[in-house]
Amino acid sequence: MVNDMVDSRLNKLANVIIPVDDQDRALEFYTETLGLEKRADLPFGDGARWIEVAPSGAGTPIALCPPGPGVSAGGKDTGISLGSEDVDVTHAHLQERGVDVDAEVSRFGEIPPLFWFRDPEGNSLMVVQAGP
């Protein structure tokens, strides 16, 4: 019985999913605008694709998938936080590229500086200062 419990434990975060209506536009935004790498682009379901993107070296990818039954795409607070070695530079870079970012970087005392941005479908993600 002990071996069965060890073998069935959850052992990693496999991916996080953002439901999107326009997968081509999402892929372009996440790779070309944000600079994430495409990890997978496979047939999925009825004419859709399973697309995964991630920062270089990241263990957990973001899946850009069509919404499931009863789920709508867009306008989601994804809960996804991306790290940047210099959040101020990243904020300015995304602003220059026309990304919908918060007006300024937020600073809350001991919490690392951070800001939110929205993808073309209105899904929000956070960028937080992270060490090298």
Can you tell me the distance from the alpha carbon of 131 to that of 12, in angstroms, rounded to the nearest whole number? Answer: 22
Please determine, for residue 5, whether its predicted confidence score (pLDDT) is greater than 80: no
**Model pLDDT, residue 4:** 54
**Model pLDDT, residue 58:** 93
Mean pLDDT score of the chain: 93
pTM for this one?
0.89
Calculate the CA dihedral of residues 29, 87, 126, 66 and round it to 10 degrees: 20
- Residue-wise pLDDT tens digits, 64-91: 999 989 999 999 999 999 999 999 999 9
